[in-house]
Amino acid sequence: MNARSGLAAALLFATAAAPVPRYAILGAMRGLDGSFDYVSVDSPTGDVYVGRDFGVQVLRGGRFTTLLRRKGVASVLPIGERLMLSTNGDGNSATLFDRLTGRAIADIPTGNEPDGAAYDPGTGLAFVMNGGSDDVTMIDVARRKAVGRIAAGGGPEGAVADGRGHLFLNIEDHNAIAVIAIAARKVVRQYPLRGCIEPTGIAYDETSGLLISACHNGVAKLTEAKTGRDRGSIPIGQGADGSIFDPTRRLGFIPCIDGTLTVYRLAPDGRAFVLQRLKTRDGARTAGYDSARDRLYLAAARVERDAKGNYVRARTDFRILTVGH
- Look at residue 123 and tell me whether its pLDDT is greater than 60: yes
Decide if pLDDT at 1 tops 50. no
C-alpha of 81 from chain center: 20
Which of 72-76, 297-301, 306-310 has the lowest average pLDDT? Answer: 306-310
Amino acid at 284: A
| Residues in contact with 260: Cβ distance below 8 Å, sequence separation at least 6, in sequence order | 236, 237, 238, 277, 278, 279, 280
Specify whether 256 is located in the same domain as 271. yes
Lowest mean pLDDT among 139-148, 243-252, 275-284, 302-311: 302-311
Domain boundary among 129, 160, 192: 192
Is the domain of 136 the same as that of 37? Answer: yes
pLDDT of residue 154: 97
Answer yes or no: do 41 and 178 share one domain: yes
The order of strands in the sheet holding 125-130 is: 114-120, 125-130, 135-140, 145-151
pLDDT of residue 37: 96
DSSP 163-219: SSSEEEEEETTTTEEEEEETTTTEEEEEEE-TT-SSEEEEEEETTTTEEEEEETTSE
Among 192, 213, 228, give the residue marking a domain's end: 192
42 and 152 in one domain?
yes
Residue type present at position 251: L
For residue 252, what are the domain limits? 1-30+198-325
Pairing mode of beta strands 114-120, 145-151: unpaired
Residues above pLDDT 90, as percent of the chain: 89
User: Rounded to two decimals, what is the model's pTM?
Assistant: 0.93
Asked if residue 40 and residue 99 are part of one domain, the reply reads yes
CATH value at residue 310: 2.130.10.10
pLDDT in tens, 217-226: 999 999 999 9
- Check whether residue 321 and residue 271 sit in a common domain: yes
Query: Given this model, what pLDDT does residue 311 score?
Result: 75
Same domain, 188 and 238: no
Domain termination site, one of 192, 221, 253: 192
Task: Please tell me whether residues 48 and 164 are part of one structural domain.
Answer: yes
Distance CA 72, CA 74 (A): 6
> How many domains are there within the chain?
2
What share of the chain has pLDDT > 70, as a percent? 94
Shared-domain flag, residues 101 and 182: yes
Residue that wins the pLDDT comparison between 252 and 13: 252
Interval 191-216: pLDDT, tens: 999 999 999 999 999 999 999 999 99
Judge if 21 and 56 occupy the same domain: no
pLDDT digits (tens, 9 = 90+) for 91-110: 999 999 999 999 999 999 99
Same domain, yes or no: 264 and 207: yes
Q: Rounded mean pLDDT of 175-185?
A: 98
